Amino acid sequence: MRQGFVKVAAATPDIRVADVAYNTEKICGAMGEAASEGAKIVVFPELCITGYTCGDLFSQEVLLREARNALLKIASFTSDKDMIVFVGTPLSVDGKLYNVAAALNRGEVLGFTTKTFLPNYGEFYEMRHFTPGPQNAQEILFEGNRVPFGPQILFQAASMEELVVSAEVCEDVWSPIPPSIYAAMEGAAVIVNCSASDETIGKDGYRRNLIRGQSARLIAGYVYANAGEGESTTDLVFGGHNLITENGVVLKESERFRNNIIYSEIDIYRLVGERRKNTTFKAPEERKLPRIPFHIELEETELTRRFSQMPFVPDNEQEREERCEEILTIQAMGLKKRLAHTRAKTAVVGISGGLDSTLALLVAAKAFDMLGWEKKRIIAVTMPCFGTTDRTYQNACKMAVQVGAELKEVRIADAVNVHFRDIGHDPEDHNVTYENAQARERTQVLMDIANEKNGMVIGTGDMSELALGWATYNGDHMSMYGVNASVPKTLVRHLVKYAADTAKDRELQEVLYDVLDTPVSPELLPPKEGSIAQITEDLVGPYELHDFFLYYMLRFGYEPSKIYRIAAETFEDRYGTAAILKWLEIFCRRFFSQQFKRSCLPDGPKVGTVALSPRGDWRMPSDACVALWMKDLEAISQAD
């Protein structure tokens, strides 16, 4: 539970219809297994103490009496279990029968969440036996104790106030206005559902989308436990289709048609942070729903959920290709509008033979196609200097020709040497002045060519470089429209690969593949034996790590220690913990110290949920202090 991770379980035990003793034994067995796995929230199916398919046996007093006794036995079984359990059972109250999810914790029955919407269509006839729950929660007398009874009861962990759980029962989530909406609005971060949803053709996909969508709409975790094998097959088959979702993402899904328990960890702090940022997610001015405390220990949660090494890049190949096409279109549409609005006659792109400038050139070409302009109006400028290698130079030239742009070469070494002489810099001193003078000279050349040709300079820098400040202020940092400004480096690579894979021109395809195979470098230092002497990732760190850090810091507001923890598990096959900590410290320091460069960024299109525009997603003072973030990492250093 530390750092917000709470392990949850959706369990479908083997049952026998109306065999309450057998079902109780299996439920307790599943609870014991879940406890050994460290689950803090465990959810069982609808009416699983008796079986959902008892039919008119629900009118038999013996069944209802045994179900009540079984519930007390199951509650007692939780006495030494560090968990809150939700189990479906029938409950007779004041002469009426209700379909409820009972919440159990530390040997006690904490409350009964009633089913609000009773299906009475198709294969369902619940209104034959059950009464819809009351509109608002009330108290009933149960075994001598006053216990909450009704919809939208909130169960709040005493050791972690952000952990608020609420239940609904099966059909409730299929209704137009699920009860969980109101529970979430009053603070429920986790919704559990005790369900008995039978299997018909295609229903699993609908169910999956329904639960995933509800968790997204509510910015919540959702634990859905469904009835399975053991229910009557007189007319129906139940597949035990269990789901654990978080804010629209399926964390874990069971295989259908076999009873089992699934586990995952819901990130409560992530959900709470998302709600804080979302101004349309508003809590009611007055709290109306009852809050019942429950008790679980605050301890380290072993993670079983997996985090993608490249969170900006979809794992699925088809989805990745669709994403790449969409991003390229967004970039090109943004540039198309800007070119048309400014009545520019040309687009000027500085090309180096590297990934970023390659992407910018491809986007410019796509924008020109959208405008119906001849691509020879794109001026691709190569500016060789002290660090340029023959490989990148040749690739830049070939690419410009294959795209159909006008290739212009401006050798800047003489101009830079004159500048060195003017400012009194020794050309043999390869310090930051030596490097940045070249970058600023290139930007000056591009700007002046744009003026000469009534054009617009297209920025090439990507979001990863902006996060790290890995750009020369008023050098490659500046342009008239930055098409790559919200595209991280890991995604740039996939965009270029997608362009290569789908290119119809074989020569262009070969050039793009060679660009992909070229080490990332600013090429500002003289080559060593003809090869690139300056490898960016050797200096500033692996971009795949920095993009991982960037995503979780900006998208979810994770503290550095939490980012370190999930990075250590995610990249354990690639980097040691010392290396991850080193690069994370560098990331934090650079991210804070380099904000001044981001505060004056050129315009550029937002393409994803994370962006650094000072006019939109990220508004940070340039002199903010990094001390708190570094202090959070110090504890890790001391522990190691």
Per residue in 32-57, pLDDT tens?
A: 999 999 999 999 999 999 999 999 99
Structure-model confidence comparison of residues 548 and 531, the more confident one: 548
Q: Is the pLDDT of residue 640 over 60?
A: no
310 neighbors 486 (Cβ within 8 angstroms) = no
Q: What is the dihedral of CA 236, 242, 248, 249, to 10 degrees?
A: -130
Query: Whole-prediction pTM value?
Result: 0.91
221-226/190-195 β-pairing: parallel
C-beta atoms surrounding 563 within 10 Å: 25
pLDDT of residue 174 exceeding 80, the answer is yes
Identify the pLDDT of residue 2. Answer: 80
Q: Which two tokens stand for residue 74?
A: 């199951």
User: How does pLDDT run across 307-337, given as a tens digit for each residue?
Assistant: 999 999 999 999 999 999 999 999 999 999 9
d(CA 51, CA 60): 14
CA dist., res. 10 & res. 264, Å (int): 9
User: Which residues 6+ apart lie within 8 Å of 470 measured at CB?
Assistant: 464, 536, 540, 590
Q: Is the pLDDT of residue 531 over 80?
A: no
How confident is the model at residue 528, as a pLDDT?
Answer: 80
Residue 525 CB neighbour total at 10 angstroms: 16
Closest by CA to 480, choosing from 455, 449, 505, is 455
- Would you give the DSSP letter of residue 372? T
CA–CA separation, 568 vs 549, rounded Å? Answer: 11
Instruction: Answer whether 399's CB lies under 8 Å from 353's CB.
Output: yes
Three-state SS letters, 331-370: HHHHHHHHHHHHCCCEEEEECCCCHHHHHHHHHHHHHHHH
* CA 118 from centre of chain: 35
Tracing tokens 């919809």 back to the chain, one arrives at 151
Gap between the Cα atoms of 569 and 97, Å rounded: 49
Distances (CA, A) of 562 to 68, 603, 629: 44, 33, 11
Whole-angstrom distance, CA of residue 267 vs CA of residue 163:
10
pLDDT digits (tens, 9 = 90+) for 491-525: 999 999 999 999 999 999 999 999 999 988 877 78
List, by residue number, the catalytic residues: 46, 115, 170
d(CA 377, CA 365): 10
Q: What is the pLDDT of residue 190?
A: 98
Amino acid at 235: D
